[in-house]
Chains A and B, each alone.
Chain A
């Protein structure tokens, strides 16, 4: 079946602009995760949804970052007033109910000029 998909694959924006990154999880997966990965580092947790609600948003770096999952499927990560330090690959993962293994999408590479 289809895996986790993320759009766009690449996003270039200017400092101060607003961006939205989309994640389509594996069909039927109830949990959805967002991570950020900088070059040469492992993924860093941002936020985790169980269904429609954010179960843990402790990894969001500040209030410029926000994520939603209104119908319990697709999720959007929103970044306001982007800064050059936001440049990274944003990864999305999903897992099925009761399972621990997370399956990752290909990521969105965000570049803030």
Chain B
């Protein structure tokens, strides 16, 4: 059974204080790993797809990286508007469904 574990559950940062969120996964065959951002009361918003170990994707202050066992979402010089829950999900090569972690809730204080 595919599993995704995200850590920490919650992270509080000062504006400008860089940090990383972790997503550890076990999957029989990885088709893709996805990062989403979710604001309260809204659906997940797509950020990145990573397909193979060593791959990196960047968008503004966010950078996602992938190894064979985990993915990191690096946040550089965060701003208060980056406050949200960040979700990680894996897609198995043998299935159309995604398995999600429980997310990391990021709070950035001004």
A25 lies within 8 A of chain B by Cβ: no
| B43 contacts A31, C-beta separation under 8 Å | no
Please give, as numbers and ranges, the residues of chain B lying within 8 Å of A103 by CB-CB distance. Answer: 46
| A42 contacts B101, C-beta separation under 8 Å | yes
How many B residues have CB within 8 A of the partner chain?
A: 24
How many CB-defined contacts (below 8 Å) exist between A and B? 60
| B97 contacts A45, C-beta separation under 8 Å | yes
How many A residues have CB within 8 A of the partner chain?
A: 26
- Which of A12-20, A48-56, A69-77, A78-86 participates in binding chain B? A48-56
Interface residues in chain B, defined as those with a beta carbon under 8 Å from any beta carbon in chain A: 4, 31-32, 34, 36, 41-46, 49, 87, 89, 91, 95-103
Interface residues in chain A, defined as those with a beta carbon under 8 Å from any beta carbon in chain B: 4, 31, 33, 35, 40-45, 48, 50, 55-56, 58-59, 91, 93, 100-107
